Amino acid sequence: MLNNRQREIYQWLGQGSHFDYDPSNYSERILQTPGYIDSDVEVNNIAVAAMTLWANAVARIADTRGLGKQGFTIDQRHASLMLNSAVLHFQNGIQFSVGPVREKLNNFYATQDDKHVFFQGSYQTLREKLLAFLDCPNSEARIQAATAGFNARDLDNQVAELGLCAAILHTREEWLSTDIGRSIAQKPMLDVSSMHHGAPVPLSKSVKRPLENIRVVDLTKVVAGPNISHQLAEQGADVIHCRHPYQDHTIPFQIEASYGKKNIFLDFSRSNDKALLQDLIRTADVVVDGLGAGGFSHAGFSKEALLALNPNLIYVQINCYDFDHAWEHRKGWEQLAQTVSGLAYLHSKGDVNNLKLIPAFFNDYLTGYLGACGVVEALLNRAEHGGAWNVRVSLVKTAMMAARFATGNGKHDPIGTHDLETYLQDEDSGIGVLTRLRPPIDFDVTKSFSGRPASYPGTDPQDIGWGEDALYSDLPRHRKSQLLDRNYIFNPISI
């Protein structure tokens, strides 16, 4: 069972949902193995609580669809490793590189008024524009010299006006005293609301997997949004991921989140592509919008337009700074969520001379799990009450939740080769043998697995459509990893 602290976190995450904590409903086995992330923020406990919430959501909808009650097992160490799963990913024994997150620009820099800002330039276009704004090369010393010429607030505002990415370091108390922080603090973690009334849409019961026949249009980019649809795919959902062919790509992250999905290119500015997307939305159950900055609405897909296409749609929105305030369309990333919310300050033990981020894509992955929980909540609501539903999750709201739980992290052990042997699995794909962390929740009956192999963006033809194809398997395609038997290259790099 969850320990007392994990249970407290679980109840905070699931408040107001169908997934109130009741271990008598579904048999849970929590292996309290040591986590691997060392932080005063209770990263490992939070990971277990969030994944237990997701496990209960899956068990609930599986039971509703006639698959019966089932228990599950979660290993705490495995759960914490999942927060860096893009790093623990290999192609033919060679680790994928996530080097762009380690760019010199991506760091804390001191301003003229003795505050600190974090720049984010993992995308090449963002990096080039930020360096042009600072009028300096990509050198830490030159970036620091340029940053020191700005007042923090002026710098932050100017960068945001240009559509670029930076954030001012806050303590938790400072952030909660801002209008934005106060606004977000009033909202539930699972923000699920009705958009439109209609007749109930029953969940079919002639299924083998919890989310079988649930159709998902995935319009997301890097980690958090793709992880929502990835978790849905691991439970049998039919997911079509749509990506612009010529915008910035972070290929290692996109491949890691592609298991179980079809991957097509779409350019909304082309009339044929826009019409294809409209057709997909008409027949979908779920649309996941991670385009940010109001991009989907500006392309002609406002909430009203979506409801006109599909009055029974579940519309998922994910961004950095949450919704219904002045920063709703401000661009943001994992690193910026940690910075503004007080999370980075807590992890750094308040030492502004040695500022550090939690060494994991913490908010990204956990926000993905919470978004997936929101989808199941909305599916259950739609089956009972009908209509269309809106699910909203954000990186900063997840970070603010985590900042509440920063009293020490318990036992931890650094990652080692024994973890690779214990937690990895191999899968064949069109791009070779891929090795990844196996799904962290071991259900007793409906096992988590990807029905399609991972692939590059745009691998599939635009007209691939819904339903099974030649690459689909309704049986697990993975096997125990043989990575340690090969001449592999491993570097435990993180954020």
Are 297 and 407 in the same domain?
A: yes
| Confidence category of residue 495, pLDDT binned at 50, 70, 90 | low
Is 92 inside a domain boundary? yes
Average pLDDT score over residue span 173-190: 97
Overall number of domains in the chain: 2
pLDDT score, position 277: 98
3-class secondary structure per residue, 182-244? HHHHCCCCCEEEEEECCCCCCCCCCCCCCCCCCEEEEECCCCHHHHHHHHHHHCCCEEEEEEC
Are 151 and 106 in the same domain?
A: yes
Supply the pTM of this predicted model: 0.96
Are 177 and 190 in the same domain?
A: no
pLDDT score, position 143: 98
pLDDT score, position 487: 62
- The region of weakest confidence among 126-140, 262-276, 474-488 is 474-488
- CB 226, CB 253: distance < 8 Å: yes
Q: 358-393, pLDDT tens digit by residue? A: 999 999 999 999 999 999 999 999 999 999 999 999
Is 493 inside a domain boundary? no
| Confidence category of residue 218, pLDDT binned at 50, 70, 90 | very high
Residue 404 domain boundaries: 4-97+185-322+361-485
Average pLDDT score over residue span 206-223: 97
Is 495 inside a domain boundary? no
Average pLDDT score over residue span 29-50: 95
Higher pLDDT, 17 or 175: 175
| Confidence category of residue 16, pLDDT binned at 50, 70, 90 | confident
Q: 386-416, pLDDT tens digit by residue? A: 999 999 999 999 999 999 998 876 678 989 8
Are 277 and 405 in the same domain?
A: yes
Are 87 and 123 in the same domain?
A: no
pLDDT score, position 490: 64
| Confidence category of residue 123, pLDDT binned at 50, 70, 90 | confident
Are 242 and 275 in the same domain?
A: yes
- The region of weakest confidence among 310-314, 345-349, 487-491 is 487-491
Are 308 and 394 in the same domain?
A: yes
Are 123 and 239 in the same domain?
A: no
Is 355 inside a domain boundary? no
Average pLDDT score over residue span 6-10: 96
- Neighbouring CB atoms inside 10 A of 431's CB total 14
CA pseudo-torsion sign 460, 285, 214, 279: negative
Closest alpha carbon to 124 in 132, 113, 114, 136: 132
pLDDT score, position 409: 65
Q: Is the pLDDT of residue 18 over 90?
A: no
CA pseudo-torsion sign 93, 222, 49, 285: negative
Closest alpha carbon to 54 in 62, 66, 44: 62
Percent of the chain with pLDDT over 90: 85
Structure-token pair, residue 57: 């959501």
Average pLDDT score over residue span 298-324: 97
Percent of the chain with pLDDT over 70: 98
Which of 57-61, 410-414, 485-489 tops mean pLDDT? 57-61
| Confidence category of residue 488, pLDDT binned at 50, 70, 90 | low
- What mean pLDDT, rounded, does the chain reach? 94
Is 140 inside a domain boundary? yes
Token match 């990263």: residue?
43
Is 111 inside a domain boundary? yes
Average pLDDT score over residue span 474-494: 78
pLDDT score, position 489: 61
- Neighbouring CB atoms inside 10 A of 479's CB total 11
How many Å apart are CA 6 and CA 47, to the nearest integer?
A: 9
Is 356 inside a domain boundary? no
Are 195 and 176 in the same domain?
A: no
- CB 273, CB 123: distance < 8 Å: no
Give the CATH number of the domain where residue 23 resides: 3.40.50.10540
Q: Is the pLDDT of residue 494 over 70?
A: no
Is 108 inside a domain boundary? yes
The SS3 of residue 265 is strand
Are 139 and 226 in the same domain?
A: no
* Residue 392, strand partner residues: 191, 317
Are 131 and 242 in the same domain?
A: no
Are 160 and 300 in the same domain?
A: no
Give the CATH number of the domain where residue 123 resides: 3.30.1540.10
Q: 60-96, pLDDT tens digit by residue? A: 999 999 999 999 999 999 999 999 999 999 999 999 9
pLDDT score, position 491: 66
Q: 410-437, pLDDT tens digit by residue? A: 678 989 888 999 999 999 999 999 999 9
| Confidence category of residue 122, pLDDT binned at 50, 70, 90 | confident
